[in-house]
Homo-oligomer: A and B are copies of this chain.
Amino acid sequence: MLRTSVQLRRVLGDELREHHDLSMADYDALVQLADQPGHRLRMAELAETILQPRSSLTRIVDGLVQRGLVLRERSSDDARGAEAVLTDAGLALFRRAQRTHHDAVRRLFLDRLTDDQLQRLADVWRAVGA
């Protein structure tokens, strides 16, 4: 079972890499930023939501900044903190990547299961994660 989930994640990651040159972690970060009002989030919060250590997030944001997808800004209220802000280019790339990703998820996962199966899976999985 873990084998299958690893393979699934691997394929999904390969597609993002191939079409948009994004790692799964990059994509996760873009998802969270795009989801926020103002498209911005504190580094520590962003790290937490994507289940990464802060040091890892620093590298991830480094890469996104270099490609002009994200800006780093000092936090206005607390000068120790930094915020990551999605640029227009970043948002545009995210929307394209999201299409790729959703298509892949549908093809590899959703289309292979009935609605009933999906419902059961969700229930069972909730028990594991709790």
Contact = CB atoms under 8 A, between A and B. Distances in A.
Interface in A94-130: 108-109, 112-113, 117, 120-125, 127-130
Interface stretch (A4-12, A32-40, A54-62, A65-73): A4-12
14 contacts: A1-B122, A1-B125, A2-B9, A3-B51, A5-B5, A5-B9, A6-B51, A7-B129, A8-B128, A109-B128, A112-B130, A113-B127, A120-B124, A121-B121
Interface string A1-43: 1111111110010000000000000000000000000000000
A53 to B, nearest CB: 12
Of all A-B residue pairs in the complex, the 10 with the closest CB atoms, nearest first, are A4-B129, A5-B5, A117-B124, A121-B124, A120-B120, A112-B127, A1-B125, A112-B128, A113-B127, A2-B9
A95 to B, nearest CB: 21
